[in-house]
Amino acid sequence: MFKGAFSIWNRDMLVLRRSLFTELLAVVASPLTFYLAFGFGLKGYIANVEGVPYTVFMAPGLITMTAVSAAFDESAWSMWFHRKVQRTIEAYRVTPITVYDIVIGKIISGFTQGAFKGVAVAAVIFLLTGFRVTVAHLAGYLAFIVLGSMIFSCLGTVCGTLLDKPETIGKVQAVVIMPLIFMSGVFFPVSSYPAAIRGYVTAIPTTALFEGSRVALLAGSLNGAYLAILALSAAVAFAGAVAIFNRKIEE
């Protein structure tokens, strides 16, 4: 079962291995710039945030942001490219694998790339800065990364399935994905929002992701409500991505 999904995932990993160095360079550059510019450039202006130095506060969010952005990018662009440009999705569809194999293979590829790139950024931040983590906290943090990457990989798959023009995918990234990430606690705590809107922001799955992952990594405590929101969101996103892909392909 799902041998087809594994074959597609395997193909994506082979392609990733070929361009590993340039992929890592590209993926590390942006969060590292944020880290250096905000963490060190604003160091004199920002006091401790929630009891930790700003560079420490920001690091988990940047790693998570890298993972989920990479998951979204890989899934969206890969699905779009294979569907509209190479038309390899059609080549897959005349083999004995099912549409579930195709969509699951692509979602897992996006998720893997996200997790892998998140680890790469974590390693670079660890090596180049004074940021250190407690090893015992990593398992809880990874649970958040896994669920977050899964959600964003599914969202990317939906975009790559539904959107025919590449510029529209770029617009979705600019108008939906980036605000969702930036407003959900990467650079500042959700407690900074006015009380009137804080409840709404807290209900967004990305807040559960960024707030929950930071607390898991820095304090070692798992917020069950946040994990439940993410697990439910991942399940809904997965079911939605599979159904949308199945329906679109049947057209």
> Contact positions toward another protein, by CB under 8 A?
3-4, 7, 10-11, 14-15, 18, 86-88, 90-98, 250
Report the residue number, 95 or 191, with the smaller CB distance to another protein.
Answer: 95
Of 146, 151, 215, nearest to 180 (Cα)? 151
CA dihedral 104, 107, 108, 109 (to 10 degrees): 120
**Least CB distance from residue 84 to another protein, whole Å?**
11
**Least CB distance from residue 15 to another protein, whole Å?**
5
SS3 78: helix
Report d(CA 221, CA 104) in Å as an integer: 31
**Least CB distance from residue 249 to another protein, whole Å?**
9
Residue where the block lists tokens 């590390």: 28
Taking a C-beta distance cutoff of 8 angstroms, is the pair 210, 184 a contact?
A: yes
Report the residue number, 48 or 95, with the smaller CB distance to another protein.
Answer: 95
State the DSSP code for 95: S
Report the residue number, 75 or 223, with the smaller CB distance to another protein.
Answer: 75
What one-letter code names the amino acid at 237?
A
Report the residue number, 94 or 135, with the smaller CB distance to another protein.
Answer: 94
**Least CB distance from residue 96 to another protein, whole Å?**
5
- The residues pairing with 52 across neighbouring beta strands, listed in sequence order, are 49
**Least CB distance from residue 192 to another protein, whole Å?**
44
Report the residue number, 4 or 110, with the smaller CB distance to another protein.
Answer: 4
N-to-C CA span, the chain:
26
